[in-house]
Amino acid sequence: MNLLVSIKKFLGKIYRFIKTDVFFAITKVIPFWKPIYYTSGNESPITFSIWFHQKILGYNKSCYWPVHFTSKVTGYKNIYVGIDAAPGISPNCYIQAIGNIHIGNYTQIAPNVGIVSANHFMFDIRQHIKKEVRLGEYCRIGMGSKILPGVTLGDFTTVSAGSIVTKSFPQGYCVIAGNPAEIVADYSKEDSIKEKFIRYENKFEYNGYIANSKFEAYRKKHLNV
């Protein structure tokens, strides 16, 4: 019992330390912690907790972007993840990349989202029918949504929470909702409104754990997309 109490106190001290400015400064100079420092202001920042669960404890260890330990990712080599985009960084997501998946820059994905790029062949469930999924830039995928194989979403598409997306909306600049998802707000043909959509850029650009300046070389060497 005393040992357990001692361990809890020790872990508590570590936790308090990683919340300090001193620890944050250290992350800037240690190579494998640099992404924690440089992505801290992003919409999908790499935190110490996510890094620890992923890189030390081994949850979704192969993924080159931050993934929450409760999420599941398969086929990471078939997934292209843009700048400040991290499918599965929110809890309880399921990302299945038997076929290719492309996630555009600055696209954010909420908890409990499913994205699948293949279906079982109905006459032989050992076989899969692959269909690429492409999400444009600056999309928002609401909590509990499901993106099914073959779907393409254009830039600035918002998927309302709980939606089941069975078909493509390549024009973007819209809000879709429902099961199956349909357009509930369409700004794609209204130039005066489209101009209000902001294309921001982060000061430090990272594709997951990889600096954007090095990502193309990584992609060519390690990925299938």
Read off the pLDDT of residues 106-148 as tens digits, 9 standing for 90 and up: 999 999 999 999 998 888 888 999 999 999 999 999 999 999 9
Give residue 169's pLDDT. 98
Give residue 25's pLDDT. 83
12 within some domain: no
138 within some domain: yes
Higher pLDDT: 148 or 10? It is 148
37 within some domain: no
57 within some domain: no
- CATH number for the domain spanning 204: value is 2.160.10.10
For the chain, what's the residue count?
225
83 within some domain: yes
Read off the pLDDT of residues 16-75 as tens digits, 9 standing for 90 and up: 777 677 787 888 889 989 999 999 999 999 999 999 999 999 999 999 999 999 999 999
Task: Name the DSSP letter for residue 110.
Answer: -
89 has a pLDDT exceeding 60: yes
Give residue 5's pLDDT. 72
Give residue 15's pLDDT. 59
Position 6 confidence tier, pLDDT thresholds 50, 70, 90? confident
Position 11 confidence tier, pLDDT thresholds 50, 70, 90? low
Position 8 confidence tier, pLDDT thresholds 50, 70, 90? low
Position 86 confidence tier, pLDDT thresholds 50, 70, 90? very high
Report the C-alpha gap between 86 and 161 in whole angstroms. Answer: 18
- With a CB cutoff of 8 Å and minimum separation 6, the contacts of 106 are 43, 82, 83, 84, 85, 137, 138, 200
52 within some domain: no
210 within some domain: yes
**Cis ω before 180 (30° cut-off from 0):** yes
Count of domains in the chain?
1
Percent of the chain at pLDDT > 90 equals 83
Residue 135: give the domain boundaries: 65-222
- The residue among 31, 61, 47 whose CA lies nearest residue 211 is 31
Report the C-alpha gap between 182 and 74 in whole angstroms. Answer: 28
157 has a pLDDT exceeding 80: yes
Report the C-alpha gap between 159 and 71 in whole angstroms. Answer: 20
Backbone φ/ψ region at 185: left (φ over 0), alpha (ψ -120 to 50), beta: beta
56 within some domain: no
The CA angle 148-58-77, to the nearest 5 degrees, is 40
* Token pair in block for residue 79: 């997934």
Statement: the pTM of the whole predicted model exceeds 0.85: yes
- With a CB cutoff of 8 Å and minimum separation 6, the contacts of 16 are none
